Structure 1
Amino acid sequence: MPRLSTHVLDTASGRPAAGVALVLSRFSDGRHRTVLLQTVTNADGRTDAPLLGGEALQPGLYELAFHVGDYFRQQGVVLPEPAFLDVVPIRFGIADPQGHYHVPLLVSPWSFSTYRGS
């Protein structure tokens, strides 16, 4: 089944990042943003359901915004104000509406990386 999923790993602690708020948006004409979903990661650092699936997964430009500053503060990490990383936006394209797009985030208070996973 075609779907979009995510997974957040806290590389500073070496465990899944539970409780990270995230917002999924889609862009029309590259400028106008529509929020499609707001959710929070579960104990495994994933969402309980795919972010998009089936016919809702359409070609286009999307953005996942991960609220990692709030997550690290909830973990008791002392961050400078403003935090170096607060909201991490990842803008990506979906070309194949029949594909599985997995967008993981590996994050610490000082760095992040992502890739197209499986």
Structure 2
Amino acid sequence: MSTISTHVLDTALGHPAPGIPVHLHQLTSAALVGSGTTDADGRVTDFACGQLEPGNYQLRFDVAEYGAATGQELFFPEISVTFTITDERHYHVPLLLSPFAFSTYRGS
């Protein structure tokens, strides 16, 4: 079984992005399996979903309110990152956020 965490960094302002709701969906069953809100360090370390089976998942970051709160007009009000869990390990999916772009990668 696997676990997951995420970290959102605001590259335009140069600091972590707190207060962003993040939802974890298992795509095969289209089920919401966990959710959380980024903490003061921009992290969600516990989606309260326990261990995850192999399969396709999606993290949905609702960034619109964060943009408004920081005075940024974000082009993407919601960002979805789809990925595959293949084996038993911890998966870390960071998100680098700016007003007109985003980037992600498989972290460690």
How high is the TM-score relative to the length of structure 1? 0.83
Out of 60, 84, 87, the position equivalent to 2:75 is 84
CA displacement, residues 79-103 of structure 1 (integer Å, 9 cap, x when unaligned): 2xxx52110000000000x211100
The runs of at least 4 aligned residues of structure 1 exceeding 4 Å deviation read: none
| Number of the residue aligned with 1:69 | 64
Once the two structures are TM-superposed, the CA of residue 52 in structure 1 deviates from its matched residue by 6.2
Find out whether 1:46 has 2:43 as its counterpart. yes
Q: Name the amino acid aligned to 2:60.
A: A
Residue 33 and residue 53 in structure 1: after superposition, are their counterparts in 2 closer, same or farther (change >3 A)?
closer
8 Å Cα contact 1:62/1:94 also seen in 2: yes
RMSD: 1.8
Residue 90 and residue 46 in structure 1: after superposition, are their counterparts in 2 closer, same or farther (change >3 A)?
same
Once the two structures are TM-superposed, the CA of residue 69 in structure 1 deviates from its matched residue by 1.7
- State the distance in 2 between where 1:11 and 1:89 align: 18
CA displacement, residues 55-87 of structure 1 (integer Å, 9 cap, x when unaligned): x2210000000011221111122x2xxx52110
| Number of the residue aligned with 1:21 | 21
8 Å Cα contact 1:4/1:52 also seen in 2: no
| Number of the residue aligned with 1:114 | 104
How high is the TM-score relative to the length of structure 2? 0.90
Give the 3-state SS of the residue equivalent to 1:101 in structure 2: strand
Unaligned stretches of 5+ residues in structure 2? none
Rg bigger for which structure? 1
Unaligned stretches of 5+ residues in structure 1? none
Give the 3-state SS of the residue equivalent to 2:43 in structure 1: coil
| Number of the residue aligned with 2:90 | 100
- State the distance in 1 between where 2:90 and 2:48 align: 10
Residue 21 and residue 53 in structure 1: after superposition, are their counterparts in 2 closer, same or farther (change >3 A)?
closer
Q: Name the amino acid aligned to 2:65.
A: D
